[in-house]
C-alpha cells in the first residue's frame, strides 16, 4: 500500500507542471478550389498539397517539420524515453525457422539493426548470412519485402522496397552460390512470387501511372509470367489485360505439385473471383470456380485433382470445402471442416491441417488429418496469439510462435505426430512480464452491441482516473487485432501507462457479419464502438479525459480523426498515423478505389456522399472548437494512404483550432506506410509520440524513473 501512495504522490508532482508552448504555425496558403457533388459545393482550399512533386509542397513539409521538431525538442524527458527504447529494443530477436532445400532459414536481429537479417544453417549446424537487408542502402530505408523459394530450394526470388514504397523490385539468386540470376525485375506492386518449377514465376503489377508514382491512380492489376533468363519486357501477360478481366487486385499461385495455376481477382479489398488452370495441359484455359465477388475464397491445398478451398460462401466465419478441379463450382462443394461460431484461419503442414480459431480474439488451434478427422486440440502456452502452424507436407516437425500484449514472442518446436512441443527460443529482454497483467472486458456500444477489449498494465494499478492511457483501434477491412507484444507498448506501460485495445466492428474478429457491420452506411458503428471504449475506461476510473490518448494508423487514422472531430472533449491527445482523412477523395489516389467495399465512394450516390461527408475528418474540423493536442504522423513516400490526407487535415486543424492545444504534423522523410521502417527511425518516432503524449497530459517529468 505504501508503494501505491508514493506512486500517487510522485504522479502528482510530475503532473500539471507544464505550461502551454506557444506554437507559430507556418502559413498554409488557401486556394479557391471547389468541387461539386450532387449539386453540393465543397471547398478544398488545400488541394495544392496533393501534388507531392511540387516545390511548394516540399517547402511546406520542411517548414512543418521544423516547427514540429522545435516543439518536440522542448519536451524535457523525450531523450530519456528514447534512451529507454534503445535499451529495451537492444536484445536478440529470432523468427521461427523454416526449411528450404537442405537449409534451415530464420530471421535474426542482433538488437538495434535497422532490418532483420536472413540467416541459414546446414544440417551440421554451421550458420551463415543469406540476405542482409541492412546492406541494401546506407540509411536502412530499403527493406526486404518478400521472399519465395523454388520447391527444391535451389533458387530464390526476393522483393525489395525502397523508401517504404509499395512498388517493388524482384531479384533472383542461386541459393547455393548467392549469385544473381538474370536481370532485376522492376515496377511490381501488391504481389507475391509463385514459382512454376525452376523455370520461372508468376507476379502481379500495374502499368506505371502517368504523373506521380506515389499518388497517381492504379486501377488495373495484371498477372505476368517471367521465364528465367529472359528480359522483363518479354514476360507473358497471363490475366488482366482486357476489359472483362479488369480488377484492382489480382494474384496468381501455383499449387505445390506444380499442376495447377490458381488466380484470384478482386475489385475491392473484400470479395474475389477464383479461377484455376491445369498447367499439365498445353493451351489449357482458365476454369471458373467462382464468378462473383460477394465472398472470399482461396485454394489452401490439393491432392491430385482434389481441391481444398477455404471460403466464407454461406459461411460467414469460414469453412473448408473439397471439390474436384474438373467441376470446381460451388454446387459441387462438400464440407470438409464445417463452419463454427468462431472465425477460422487454417494452415497446413506435416500432412495435417491446423484450424486456428479466434475465440473473442484469442487463439485456439485444432489439428485435423486429410480425411477431416479431428486429431487433437493443441494446448497453447497461454492466452494470446499463435502463428506459424504450418510447413511442408513431409515435415515431421515445424515451429510456431506465441505472444500476447505483455509477453514477448517465443518460438516452439512442434511434433506433428504426437502433438508435443518444446520451447525452441525465448528472448532475453529487460522486461519482466510477471509484473504486468492483461485482462479482457466486454462493454456495451451505443446500439447495445457487446464489444471485447483487452486492457494491459502493471499489476496493482490504482484505478483513480489519473493513469495515462493509450486507446488503440483499427476497425476495418476484416483486420483482426489479436494480442501481440510490442517493445514500444512495454516502455509505455513501464511508465504506469495503460494500453487498451477494443475489437471494433469492421474488423474480422467475429467473421464477415462483424466486418460488414462496420462498412459503408454502417461505418459510424466503428466510431461509436471506439467512443464507448473510451467512456468505459473513464467510467471505471482506469483513466479520465485529461489522461486519455487515442491512436490508430491507416484506417485506424481515420478512426482517430473521426473520433476527435465528433468528440473532442473525450480525450486529451489524438495520434492519427498515416490516416485516411479525406473521405470524399480517397478513391482518387493510388489503389484507394479498392477500399470502396469498406467505405463506399462520394461519387456512387447522393446518399453515400452525404454519409461520407458527415464523418470525413477533413470536412468536420470546425472553427471555434478546442481539439485535443494532436500529433499527425505520416511518411512522404506513403503510396498507399498518400500523405496529402495528413497534410490537408493538419492544415485545417492549424487554421481552426481554438485554445492552447498544439496541432502538429510529423512527416517522416524517405518513409512509406510503415512496413520496413528502419528501427532507428521507429525509435525516434515513438520517443516523439510518447513524449508529446505525456507532456500534453501535464507531465513535466516521467511518471516512473527508468533507472533501476
Closest to 563 (Cα-Cα) out of 463, 499, 438, 474: 474
Strand partners, 357: 344, 364
Q: Cell numbers 495455376 label which residue?
A: 261
457, 619, 645, 673: which is the annotated catalytic residue?
673
Distance CA(148)–CA(262), nearest Å, equals: 17
Backbone dihedral angles phi then psi of residue 3, each to the nearest 5 degrees: -65, -35
554, 602, 616, 646: which is the annotated catalytic residue?
554
Helix (H) or strand (E) holding 355: strand 352-359
Q: Known catalytic residue: 554? A: yes
Please list the helix, strand and coil fractions of the chain in percent, rounded to the nearest 5, in that order: 25, 30, 45
* Under 8 Å between Cβ of 469 and 548: yes
Distance CA(1)–CA(6), nearest Å, equals: 9
Q: Which pairing describes strands 343-349 and 200-205: parallel, antiparallel, or unpaired?
A: unpaired
Helix (H) or strand (E) holding 496: none
Q: Cell numbers 508514382 label which residue?
A: 213
* Under 8 Å between Cβ of 411 and 394: no
Angle 281-286-288 from CA coordinates, rounded to 5°:
135
Total Cβ atoms within 10 A of residue 326: 10
User: In the structure grid, which three cell numbers stand for residue 531, read together?
Assistant: 467512443
User: In the structure grid, which three cell numbers stand for residue 150, read together?
Assistant: 523454388
Q: In angstroms, what is the C-alpha Rg of the chain?
A: 26
3-state secondary structure of 13: helix
Distance CA(442)–CA(451), nearest Å, equals: 5
Q: How far is CA 206 from CA 190, 251, 453, 569, 594, in A?
A: 9, 12, 39, 44, 14
HSE-up of residue 303 (Cα within 13 Å, Cβ side): 9
Distance CA(532)–CA(450), nearest Å, equals: 10
Q: How far is CA 231 from CA 174, 186, 221, 225, 227, in A?
A: 18, 11, 20, 11, 8
User: In the structure grid, which three cell numbers stand for residue 312, read together?
Assistant: 466464407
Q: Which pairing describes strands 352-359 and 343-349: parallel, antiparallel, or unpaired?
A: antiparallel
Angle 92-96-101 from CA coordinates, rounded to 5°:
120
Strand partners, 667: 634
3-state secondary structure of 483: coil
User: In the structure grid, which three cell numbers stand for residue 477, read together?
Assistant: 477491412
Catalytic sites, residue numbers: 554, 673
Amino acid at each position: 500500500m505504501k508503494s501505491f501512495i508514493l506512486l500517487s504522490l510522485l504522479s502528482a508532482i510530475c503532473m500539471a507542471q507544464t505550461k502551454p508552448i506557444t506554437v507559430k504555425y507556418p502559413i498554409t496558403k488557401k486556394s479557391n478550389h471547389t468541387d461539386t457533388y450532387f449539386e453540393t459545393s465543397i471547398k478544398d482550399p488545400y488541394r495544392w498539397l496533393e501534388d507531392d512533386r511540387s516545390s511548394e509542397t516540399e517547402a511546406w513539409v520542411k517548414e512543418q517539420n521544423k516547427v514540429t521538431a522545435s516543439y518536440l525538442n522542448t519536451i524535457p524527458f523525450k531523450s530519456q524515453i528514447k534512451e529507454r527504447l534503445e535499451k529495451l529494443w537492444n536484445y536478440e530477436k529470432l523468427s521461427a525457422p523454416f526449411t528450404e532445400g537442405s537449409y534451415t532459414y530464420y530471421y535474426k536481429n542482433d538488437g538495434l539493426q535497422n532490418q532483420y537479417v536472413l540467416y541459414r544453417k546446414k544440417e551440421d549446424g554451421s550458420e551463415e548470412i543469406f540476405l542482409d537487408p541492412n546492406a541494401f542502402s546506407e540509411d536502412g530505408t530499403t527493406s526486404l519485402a518478400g521472399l519465395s523459394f523454388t520447391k527444391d530450394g535451389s533458387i530464390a526470388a526476393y522483393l525489395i522496397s525502397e523508401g517504404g514504397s509499395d512498388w517493388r523490385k524482384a531479384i533472383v539468386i542461386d541459393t547455393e552460390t548467392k549469385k544473381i540470376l538474370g536481370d532485376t525485375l522492376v515496377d511490381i506492386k501488391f504481389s507475391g512470387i509463385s514459382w512454376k518449377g525452376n523455370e520461372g514465376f508468376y507476379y502481379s503489377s500495374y502499368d506505371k501511372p502517368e504523373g506521380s508514382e506515389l499518388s497517381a491512380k492504379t486501377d488495373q492489376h495484371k498477372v505476368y509470367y517471367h521465364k528465367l533468363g529472359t528480359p522483363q519486357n518479354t514476360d507473358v501477360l497471363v490475366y488482366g489485360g482486357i476489359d472483362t478481366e479488369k480488377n484492382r487486385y489480382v494474384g496468381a499461385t501455383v499449387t505445390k505439385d506444380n499442376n495447377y495455376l490458381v488466380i484470384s481477382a478482386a475489385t475491392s479489398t473484400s470479395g474475389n473471383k477464383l479461377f484455376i488452370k491445369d498447367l499439365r495441359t498445353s493451351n489449357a484455359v482458365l476454369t471458373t470456380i467462382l464468378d462473383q465477388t460477394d465472398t472470399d475464397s482461396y485454394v489452401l491445398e490439393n491432392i491430385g485433382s482434389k481441391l481444398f478451398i477455404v471460403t466464407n460462401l454461406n459461411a460467414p466465419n469460414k469453412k473448408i470445402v473439397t471439390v474436384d478441379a474438373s467441376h470446381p463450382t460451388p454446387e459441387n462443394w462438400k464440407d470438409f471442416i464445417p463452419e463454427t461460431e468462431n472465425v477460422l484461419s487454417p494452415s497446413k503442414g506435416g500432412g495435417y491441417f491446423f484450424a486456428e480459431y479466434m475465440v473473442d480474439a484469442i487463439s485456439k488451434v485444432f489439428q485435423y488429418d486429410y480425411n477431416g478427422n479431428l486429431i487433437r486440440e493443441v494446448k497453447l502456452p497461454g492466452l494470446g496469439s499463435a502463428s506459424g502452424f504450418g510447413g511442408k507436407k513431409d515435415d515431421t516437425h515445424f515451429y510456431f510462435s506465441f505472444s500476447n500484449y505483455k509477453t514477448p514472442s517465443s518460438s516452439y518446436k512442434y511434433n506433428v505426430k504426437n502433438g508435443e512441443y518444446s520451447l525452441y527460443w525465448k528472448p532475453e529482454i529487460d522486461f519482466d512480464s510477471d509484473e504486468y497483467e492483461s485482462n479482457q472486458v466486454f462493454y456495451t456500444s451505443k446500439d447495445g452491441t457487446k464489444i471485447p477489449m483487452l486492457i494491459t498494465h502493471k499489476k496493482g494499478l490504482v484505478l483513480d482516473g489519473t493513469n495515462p492511457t493509450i486507446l488503440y483501434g483499427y476497425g476495418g477491412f476484416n483486420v483482426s487485432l489479436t494480442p501481440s507484444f510490442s517493445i514500444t507498448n512495454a516502455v509505455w506501460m513501464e511508465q504506469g501507462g495503460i494500453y487498451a485495445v477494443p475489437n471494433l466492428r469492421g474488423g474480422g474478429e467475429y467473421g464477415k457479419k462483424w466486418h460488414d457491420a462496420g462498412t459503408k452506411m454502417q461505418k459510424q458503428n466503428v466510431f461509436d464502438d471506439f467512443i464507448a471504449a473510451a467512456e468505459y475506461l473513464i467510467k471505471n476510473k482506469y483513466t479520465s479525459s485529461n489522461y486519455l490518448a487515442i491512436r490508430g494508423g491507416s484506417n485506424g487514422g481515420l478512426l482517430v480523426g473521426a473520433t476527435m472531430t465528433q468528440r473532442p472533449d473525450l480525450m486529451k491527445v489524438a495520434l492519427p498515423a498515416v490516416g485516411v482523412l479525406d473521405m470524399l477523395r480517397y478513391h482518387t489516389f493510388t489503389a484507394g478505389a479498392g477500399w470502396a467495399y469498406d467505405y463506399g465512394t462520394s461519387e456512387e450516390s447522393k446518399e453515400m456522399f452525404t454519409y461520407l461527408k458527415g464523418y470525413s475528418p477533413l470536412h468536420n474540423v470546425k472553427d471555434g472548437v478546442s481539439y485535443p493536442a494532436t500529433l499527425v504522423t505520416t511518411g512522404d513516400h506513403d503510396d498507399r494512404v498518400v500523405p496529402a490526407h495528413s497534410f490537408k487535415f493538419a492544415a485545417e486543424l492549424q487554421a481552426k483550432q481554438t485554445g492552447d492545444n498544439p496541432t502538429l504534423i510529423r512527416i517522416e522523410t524517405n518513409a512509406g506506410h510503415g512496413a520496413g521502417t528502419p528501427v532507428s527511425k521507429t525509435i525516434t518516432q515513438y520517443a516523439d509520440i510518447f513524449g508529446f503524449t505525456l507532456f500534453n497530459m501535464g507531465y513535466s517529468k516521467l511518471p516512473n524513473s527508468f533507472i533501476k
